[in-house]
Structure 1
Amino acid sequence: MNPLRCLVLPGMDGSGAWLDEFAAAMAPRLPVEILAYPPQRALGYDELVDFVRPHLPQAEPYLLLGESFSGPIAIRLAAQRPPGLAGLVLCASFASAPSLPGSPLSTRTLARLATALPLQYLPAALAAPLLLGRWRTPERIERLQGLLHSVAPAVLHHRLREASRVDAEAALAAIAGPLLYLRAERDRLVSADSLARIRTRVPSLSEVALDAPHFLLQVRAAAAAQAICAWAAALPTRA
């Protein structure tokens, strides 16, 4: 029997650079591959699905993990029922444009506002309360600044616009395998409505809630790895 592995599709930055601690926490039980997106190319969801598809493992069983922005990509790929896919994991993510918890602003409005901002000059300290919450430290804010600077501003703007108008909910009905949702209880970007809408389409999904901000995999790497590995251990074995 081939060992299970995990292919991770990263969040809005697309680099997966801050997923090293999560990969290390997973490594003793599930090897992780993080697929980075082109940092200088403004690819939409359709193009990113096409970009990821050839990278799906062909000869071994695997989990597909969509973090935040990448949830719709992972959902659409899982709906195609590729061979070897043992399960889908969504982390602080959504199938359709998410709403902001406790805010009158829609993500579409937020995306329009962000388009006017020079993101290459945006201090990470301003984004840290949304992404890191009470877990922000000088070291983590510095690392967040590195993420913001690693991607072309036009690419970040494009991804924000894509997330503000995406709708992959119909694809959820075509997913045949198990689905795990990791919910960040202190998420300030993706409200609980996103999980509720996914559950409507996939009532059998499993949910694990962690005391964490939107950057769940970065801040609670060990807890996230433990939850995923425990869920994966109970999946049907595949040859």
Structure 2
Amino acid sequence: MRCLLLPGMDGTGALLSDFAAALAPQFRPEVVAYPRDAAWGYDPLTDYVRARLPRDQPFVLLGESFSGPIAIRIAASRPDGLRGLVLCASFARAPSPPGWRLPASWLGRIGAVLPIGRLPTRLTAAAMLGAWASEEWLTRTREVLATLDPAAIRARMHAGSTAEETAALARVACPLLYLRGRRDRLVSRHSWEHIRAILPLANYVELDGPHFLLQAKAVEAADAIKRAFAI
């Protein structure tokens, strides 16, 4: 069965190679990389992904972090062949970090003024990987950050900080698996609790990992997906 992987905020999918390898051979992973220089929000990105859905083949759709709302929108339309939806460290409604007390929309405002192209790699890696920020992951993260267009990242930060896909989530009919890192510093547990309130039958797996769960816990996350969908 195919597994369509929608990457997080970076949009490249370059940090998903270990996870994709762990899915094989039971799944045939395919990363949908977003245009690097397109400052798109969720509407054009959803159209972009929809045009790349498998035709006449069963597949599982995975939305990592920022891409969760896109995956939810597509699953809500119930495309032919969709067998399951996976949301990893993601959300249906604009998320907040643990302990954040301001409206989620403030994160988009902060993103609008951040010097995105000049942020230290160690600072970004600390937020995304925490204790799993090894030298290897620092190098890989630095290489990806160097390719990003700040305007595209700001557009994605704004989209994520204003996301509201509760109505679409309620129309999702396929099985849903939510993967969460116990030490996620960016998306609090409230995002999962909101999803569970809308879809009480959703499956939940928590791993001892950071926001970059598919990177730090690639094998464990892949195994959870295989178990959820009996592969």
Give the structure-1-normalised TM-score: 0.94
Q: d(CA) in 1 for partners of 2:54 and 2:136?
A: 35
Aligned to 1:119: 116
Contact (CA 8 Å) 2:16, 2:214: kept in 1 or not?
A: yes
Correspondence for 2:3 among 1, 6, 24: 6
Aligned to 2:166: 169
Q: Per-residue deviation at 1:114? A: 2.4
Aligned to 1:57: 54
Q: Per-residue deviation at 1:28? A: 2.0
Moved over 4 A (4+): none
SS in 2 for 1:181: strand
Percent same amino acid at aligned positions? 52
The one-character-per-residue Cα deviations of 1:88-142 (angstroms, maximum 9, x if unpaired) are 0000000010011023344322221222122111111111221001111122112
1:189-204 equivalent positions in 2, closer than 5 A: 189-204=186-201
Q: Does 1:153 align with 2:150?
A: yes
Q: d(CA) in 2 for partners of 1:152 and 1:106?
A: 26
Aligned to 1:97: 94
What amino acid is the match of 2:64? E
Aligned to 2:72: 75
SS in 2 for 1:64: strand
Moved more, 61-70 or 149-158: 149-158
Q: d(CA) in 2 for partners of 1:113 and 1:145?
A: 21
What amino acid is the match of 1:65? L
RMSD over aligned Cα atoms: 1.1
Moved more, 141-150 or 210-219: 141-150
Moved more, 123-132 or 61-70: 123-132
Q: d(CA) in 1 for partners of 2:63 and 2:71?
A: 5
Aligned to 2:211: 214
The one-character-per-residue Cα deviations of 1:51-95 (angstroms, maximum 9, x if unpaired) are 111111111100000000000000000000000000000000000
Contact (CA 8 Å) 1:100, 1:106: kept in 2 or not?
A: no
Q: d(CA) in 1 for partners of 2:229 and 2:134?
A: 32
Unaligned runs of 5+ residues in structure 2 are: none
Contact (CA 8 Å) 2:111, 2:158: kept in 1 or not?
A: no
Contact (CA 8 Å) 2:176, 2:202: kept in 1 or not?
A: yes
What amino acid is the match of 2:203? S
Aligned length: 231
Q: Does 1:27 align with 2:24?
A: yes
What amino acid is the match of 2:81? G
Aligned to 2:225: 228
Contact (CA 8 Å) 2:6, 2:67: kept in 1 or not?
A: yes
